[in-house]
Amino acid sequence: MKWAPTLGVGLWLAASAVAQEPELPPGLGQPPAAQEPRRPTPQQPAAPDEPALPTGLESGAAAEGPRAEPSARSERAWARPKGFVDLRAGARTQSDPLQRDLSLAEARLRLEFEHAFDRGVLRFKPDLVADALESSQSVDLERGRGFLDLREGSFATSPLPFLDLKVGRQVLTWGTGDLLFLNDLFPKDWVSFFVGRDEEYLKAPSDALKVGMFGAGLNFEVVYTPRFDPDRFVRSERLSFFDPLAGRVIGRDVAFAPEVPDRWFRDDEFAARLSGNFGGHELAAYGYWGRWKSPGGFDGVSQRPVFPRLGVYGASARTQFAGGIANLEVGYYDSRQDPGGADPLVENSQGRFLAGFERDLPQLAAHLTVGAQYYLEAMLDHAEFRRTLPTGVPERDELRHVLTLRVTKELLEQRLRVSVFTYASPSDRDWYLRGTVSYAIDDAWSVFGGVNWFGGRRDFTFFGQFEDNSNVYLGARLAF
């Protein structure tokens, strides 16, 4: 009698211990033919908490059997193109007498076709675009205007084990900066970037041949662009900006028509990179021989902006550091048509420097990433620049300092993503804030919104000149 309470406790303990043990899952039980009594099936656990042996783990179950699980792959439907539909609209947050109030109003259908042969892969990615803010819908593939924007049309092959070739229209990126580019001289689309298109459109496609050679721990890549691919630079029909010759911010009131060099094999570009990954430390050296990618000069005869010749030589390093990613990059911009800096109509040579650091901050919050960069643009031959500066043209500083800060937070099981990227220049006293919010309704649909906010003390600095282009936008995308 006096044992009863103890026994009761003991039974309870035993029961609770048993209650935690999982039943063996399918695959972990005894085989049907085993001499021992059969393990409980998953439906009859030995104890509520113990897992049943999963099928496949029974003793002696090692015989290869038919697969119980169907393939995890969705059926591959090559015939069905992939892509998305993207609708977005945006408006200026202040009135700009030189521009329309709408900053963005377009619909895009992206299609992606890919076909793999034994010898290579063909890719074709057209965007069909209806852009309410473009006056003409006629197609200009170079500038990405009109109803068709071809993002990719390429053939990639590896004729030798150490050699990769990719020829045709392709998007190209290298370098270590986060939305800052020193040694990446591939074309950018600044209009897309500033008006709130998806970030992928910051990179405009190149029409080029890319050759990669890999071996001995080093990679060597060369990109040859037979006809100059400029940036899709800011245009006065869409964005207002400072024109040094007009001495003011211009917009739709002034036609901006740079002279783009377009002779095949003569107005060409070379870009090269030598890189290696040494136990997680990534090092690279770069070279570029071409032209300023956005207008970097002015032709006094034709009275049009031009793209003077440019050589860029640089290096970068990227590695893990203090729980995050640290990067360093330098570049020397050799403005080859203005070697001494005495030509007021051509950009001076520059030295560029970038240091960055990014890491997660789980200590502060889950799914929070913070990144900061310091960027320096040093005009060389600044004394010559000052000496030859035409009257009335504002003087730029010798050193332009830019700090960037990126904060990204994901919420609701990564359905909601909030990101703020800020450029701020203490020397120019101007800034540019990019804020984006996106929400994935399901695997196909997402909605998003964003802001592009420019400001500054003076109207001729890099970001300050865009002040009246500040905008907000909204959109939705269906991916398929």
Partner 1 sequence: MNRMFPWLVTVTLAAAAAGAQNEGPAAAPALAVEAIVANANRVSYYQGRDGRAQVRMVVVDAQGRERTREMTILRLDVPAAAAGSGDAKGGDGKRGDGEAPAAGAGKAPAAGDAAANPAPADDAHCGEQKFYVRFRQPADVDKTTFLVWKKPGQDDDRWLYLPALDLVKRVSSADKRSSFVGSHFFYEDVSGRHVAADTHELVETTKNYYVVESKPVDAKSVEFAAYKMWIHRESFTVVKVEFRDAAGEVYRRYEVLGVETVQGRPTVTKARMSDLRSNGSTTVTYSEVAYDLGLPDEVFTERYLRREPRQWLR
Residues numbered 68-107 forming contacts with partner 1, rule: CB under 8 A: 68-74, 82-84
User: What whole-number distance in Å separates Cα of residue 206 and Cα of residue 75?
Assistant: 33
Contact predicate 228/453, CB 8 Å? no
Residues 344-363 that bind partner 1 (CB under 8 A): 358-362
Neighbours of 291 (CB within 10 A): 26
- The amino acid at residue 469 is N
List of long-range contacts for 67-76, beta carbons under 8 Å, 24+ apart = 68/26
Q: Could you tell me how far CA 59 lies from the centroid of its own chain?
A: 51
Total residues in contact with partner 1, by rule CB under 8 A: 91
Near partner 1 by CB under 8 A: residue from 146, 212, 261, 287: 212
State the first-to-last Cα distance of the chain, in angstroms, to the nearest integer.
72
Residue 297 CB, nearest approach to partner 1 (Å): 29
* Cα 107 to Cα 439: distance, rounded to the nearest angstrom: 19
Q: Using the rule CB under 8 A, which residue among 150, 156, 355, 418 binds partner 1?
A: 156
Query: Is the backbone of residue 383 left (phi > 0), alpha (psi -120 to 50) or beta?
Result: alpha
- Please list every residue from 122 through 141 that binds partner 1, using CB under 8 A: none
Select the span of 48-56, 138-146, 254-262, 347-355 touching partner 1 (CB under 8 A). Answer: 48-56
CB-based contact 210:166 (threshold 8 Å): yes
* CB 254 to partner 1: min, Å: 33
How near is the Cβ of 173 to partner 1 at its closest, in Å? 4
CB atoms inside a 10 Å sphere around CB 47? 17
For tokens 């001499």, the residue is: 35
Write down the least CB distance from residue 172 to partner 1, Å. Answer: 6
Contact residue for partner 1 among 107, 254, 325, 405 (CB under 8 A): 325
Is residue 323 a contact residue for partner 1 (CB under 8 A)? yes
Stretch that binds partner 1, among 244-252, 342-350, 372-380, 443-451 (CB under 8 A): 443-451
Judged by CB under 8 A, which of 41, 219, 337, 419 binds partner 1?
219
- Residue of 9, 14, 15, 62 interacting with partner 1 (CB under 8 A): 62
Q: Does 57 bind partner 1 (CB under 8 A)?
A: yes
Quick check: 51 and 25 in contact, CB under 8 A? yes
- Structure tokens belonging to residue 198: 């998806």
For residue 478, give the nearest of 108, 133, 104, 127 by alpha carbon.
108
Q: How far apart are CA 353 and CA 325, in angstroms?
A: 17
Residue of 3, 7, 32, 67 that binds partner 1 (CB under 8 A): 67
Min separation Cβ 157 and partner 1, Å: 10
Whether 470 and 455 have beta carbons less than 8 Å apart is answered as yes
Closest to partner 1 by CB, 182 or 440: 440
* Residues between 12 and 31 with contacts to partner 1, criterion CB under 8 A: 17, 20-22, 24-28
Least Å distance, CB 10 to partner 1, is 16
Nearest approach in angstroms of CB 298 to partner 1 is 32
Residue 59 binding partner 1, by CB under 8 A: yes
Distance CA 125, CA 149 (A): 9
Largest CA distance in the chain: 115
Find, among 439, 437, 433, the residue nearest to 471 by Cα: 433
195: contact with partner 1 by CB under 8 A: no
**Contact pattern from residue 368 through residue 397 relative to partner 1, giving x for each residue in contact according to CB under 8 A and a dash for the rest:** -x----------------------------
Distance CA 318, CA 358 (A): 11
Task: Write out the two tokens for 406.
Answer: 């990126």
Q: Binding of partner 1 at residue 409 (CB under 8 A)? A: no
Does 115 participate in binding partner 1 (rule CB under 8 A)?
no
Q: Contacts with partner 1 in 458-477 (CB under 8 A)?
A: 477
Query: Of 83 and 296, which CB lies nearer to partner 1 in the complex structure?
Result: 83
